[in-house]
Amino acid sequence: MSTIKATNIVRHEGHVSRDERESKLKQKAVLLWLTGLPSSGKSTIAYTVEHALAKRGHLAYVLDGDNIRFGLNGNLGFSAEDRTENIRRIGEVGKLFVDGGFLTLASFVSPYSADRDAVRELMGEGDFVEIFIDTPVEICEERDPKGLYKKARTGEISNFSGISDPYEVPEKPEMIIKTADWTAEEAAVLIIEMLEKSGKIQAQQN
């Protein structure tokens, strides 16, 4: 974790509590952390869940790995140090979103267990749910819309998770999604059912 360099700063508390925001939104905020190899289906599933939640009247938002690197993390590359800083920053952003009452979906390769664990430790009890998008590397390569695996195997791209850089599989994720077996829509249903069972959202009445 980074060291705070700023001096003469004071943490300020607002006049609206997280509980009040959640009550108005009729949901319990959470950070759903989707991790998996590149092209495993993380973003597709995250946006499918976001859309389904929005249709039910919930406030949800996706923090997408590629999108974040266009702005907030545009100064970071893919070295181990930069990857760690990338995830550290997103953990802090995710914490703010959860405090705001959002159902937040973070879609990041986040290949290192220590980085994911650091985000978990940052969050409150029950606020972090690790979802492992378990897709074999062979299927990821077949799906790869950007041709990144091919470039990684020919050496055009270095530090590529699963090829020239390690991906550390989560040891005890709260949920495992096997995209070889389920479509994005089916995976979204499973995630929403998990949110219902954990009391983050109310189950729909039949």
CB 105 within 8 A of CB 50: yes
Q: What is the CA radius of gyration of the chain?
A: 18
What's the rounded Cα separation, in Å, for the pair 129 and 145? 27
What are the Cα distances from residue 69, in Å, to 15, 34, 127, 148, 154?
A: 33, 17, 24, 16, 24
Q: Which of 110, 158, 161, 198 is catalytic?
A: 110
What are the tokens at 164?
A: 């020239």
What's the rounded Cα separation, in Å, for the pair 14 and 16? 6
Type of residue found at 5: K
Task: Specify whether 17 is catalytic.
Answer: no
What are the tokens at 165?
A: 């850089």
Sheet architecture: strand order including 60-64: 60-64, 103-107, 30-35, 128-133, 175-177
Query: Of 1, 26, 12, 31, which is closest to residue 125 (Cα–Cα)?
Result: 31
183: three-class secondary structure by DSSP: coil
* Residues classed as catalytic: 110
